[in-house]
């Protein structure tokens, strides 16, 4: 019989948020694999849990995975924990889970604390559909490219961000996503928990006047379908005008060229512009 790999969610700040089941499993397993053993020891000491720990983080997971798999195959059960919150969500562990699945080792998740869901449900934004993108890229060029990719999405967007990059990220988001409602949830469940609300531009001004510290979650309103339609109509109108002026085309020929470039039919472009035939 193999052991079991448990994925155990731990508190993101308030120690009362750990579940009774998580405490039981942490007491029962043979080994606890930690993103940072120094952080996990604080949690274990608080709840008087004495179990061997081993580091498992982004810098050693490739080599450490096989060691843990061998222990599981020997019948030892292991709990995987991150520094705070749910393992594998923007944290190491996916390689271990994939290897365990390949070797027919049971993998069981213990649900619990996570920063993204409390931020979402307190945001006041649509929560029936959302997408979580982890951390935005650190480099501005890559970050802007990512923002362009998610711009058309009609549902709420959630990401984590560093207090050292939040100004740059808000500036890029404002430029690319436009006027959208958003929140910054800071230090969730901790003593100085705080939520800032407003448009992306308003949040940018708030952060400029009051630099933020701690763990941040940015929640952004999805693309409004009405505004998306308006944006497309404006794009078609401007493109038709440019074609008429630069290529010396009549309005109908310009419309056909623009529709082809946008990958839509001429009738669809015409419907959106709501132009009358007499205008051609």
Give the per-residue pLDDT at 227.
Answer: 59
Q: Which residue has the higher pLDDT, 158 or 255?
A: 158
278: pLDDT strictly greater than 60: no
Going by the DSSP 8-state scheme, the letter that residue 279 receives in this structure is G
Query: pLDDT confidence of 262, banded at 50, 70, 90?
Result: confident
pLDDT for 235 equals 77
pLDDT value for 252: 84
What is the residue-wise DSSP string for 177-214?
Answer: H-S-EEEEEESTTSTT-EEEEEEHHHHHHHHHHS---S
Distances (CA, A) of 4 to 31, 229, 278: 11, 51, 73
Q: What pairs with residue 259 in β-bridges?
A: none
CA distance 39 to 212: 23
Q: What is the pLDDT of residue 228?
A: 60
pLDDT per residue as tens digits for the range 17-35: 999 999 999 999 999 999 9
Q: Provide the sign of the torsion angle of the four alpha carbons 148, 152, 158, 163, taken in this order.
A: positive
Residue 225 scores a pLDDT above 80: no
pLDDT tops 60 at residue 277: no
pLDDT digit string (tens) for 159-194? 999 999 999 999 999 999 989 999 999 999 999 999
Name the superfamily (CATH) of residues 5-110: Tetrapyrrole methylase, N-terminal domain (3.40.1010.10)
Q: What pLDDT does 280 receive?
A: 41
Q: How confident is the model at residue 234 (pLDDT cuts 50, 70, 90)?
A: confident
**Euclidean distance between CA atoms 130 and 141, whole angstroms:** 24
Rounded to two decimals, the pTM is: 0.78
Each residue's pLDDT tens digit, 42-56: 999 999 999 999 999
What is the residue-averaged pLDDT of the chain?
91
Mean pLDDT of 216-233: 79
Q: Which of 96-100, 237-241, 261-265 has the lowest mean pLDDT?
A: 261-265
Residue 114 exposure: Cα atoms within 13 Å on the Cβ side: 20
User: What pLDDT does residue 265 have?
Assistant: 82
The sheet with strand 78-81 has its strands ordered as: 53-55, 31-34, 78-81, 5-8, 107-110
The number of CA neighbours under 13 Å toward the Cβ of 5 is: 26
Q: How, if at all, do strands 216-220 and 194-199 pair?
A: unpaired
Q: 241-274 burial, b for 16+ CB within 10 Å, e for fewer?
A: eebbeeeebeeeebbbbbbeeeebeeeebbebbe
DSSP labels, 129-178: SEEEEEEPPSSHHHHHHHHHHHTT--SEEEEEE-TTTHHHHHHHHHHHH-
Length of the chain: 280
From the list 104, 111, 84, the residue with the least C-alpha distance to 7 is 111
CATH architecture of 116-223: 2-Layer Sandwich (3.30)
Q: Are 90 and 17 in contact (CB under 8 A)?
A: no
In tens, the pLDDT along 240-259 reads: 888 888 888 888 888 888 88
pLDDT at 276: 40
Find all residues with CB under 8 Å of 264, minimum gap 6, and list them: none
């Amino acid at each position: 019989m193999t052991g079991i790999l448990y994925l155990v969610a731990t508190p993101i700040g308030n120690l009362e948020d750990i579940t009774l089941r998580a405490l039981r499993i942490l007491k029962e397993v043979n080994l606890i694999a930690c993103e940072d053993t120094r952080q996990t020891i604080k949690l274990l000491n608080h709840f008087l849990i004495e179990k061997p720990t081993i580091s498992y983080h982004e810098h050693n997971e490739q080599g450490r995975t096989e060691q843990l798999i061998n222990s599981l195959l020997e019948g030892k059960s292991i709990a995987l924990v991150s520094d705070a919150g749910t393992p594998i969500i923007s944290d190491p562990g996916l390689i271990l889970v994939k290897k365990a699945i390949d070797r027919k080792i049971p993998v069981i998740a213990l649900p619990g604390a996570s920063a993204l869901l409390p931020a979402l449900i307190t945001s006041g934004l649509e929560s029936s559909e959302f997408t979580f993108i982890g951390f935005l890229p650190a480099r501005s060029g890559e970050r802007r490219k990512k923002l362009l990719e998610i711009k058309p999405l009609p549902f709420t967007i959630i990401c984590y961000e560093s207090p050292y990059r939040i100004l740059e990220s808000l500036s890029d988001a404002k430029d690319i996503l436009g006027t959208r409602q958003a929140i910054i949830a800071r230090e969730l469940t901790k003593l100085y928990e705080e939520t800032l609300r407003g448009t992306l531009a308003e949040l940018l001004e708030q952060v400029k006047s009051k630099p933020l510290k701690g763990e941040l979650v940015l929640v952004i309103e999805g693309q409004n379908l009405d505004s998306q339609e308006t944006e497309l109509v404006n794009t078609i109108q401007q493109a038709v005008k440019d074609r008429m002026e630069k290529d010396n085309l009549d309005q109908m020929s310009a419309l056909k060229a623009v529709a082809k470039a946008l990958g839509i039919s001429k009738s669809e472009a015409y419907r959106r512009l709501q132009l009358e035939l007499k205008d051609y």
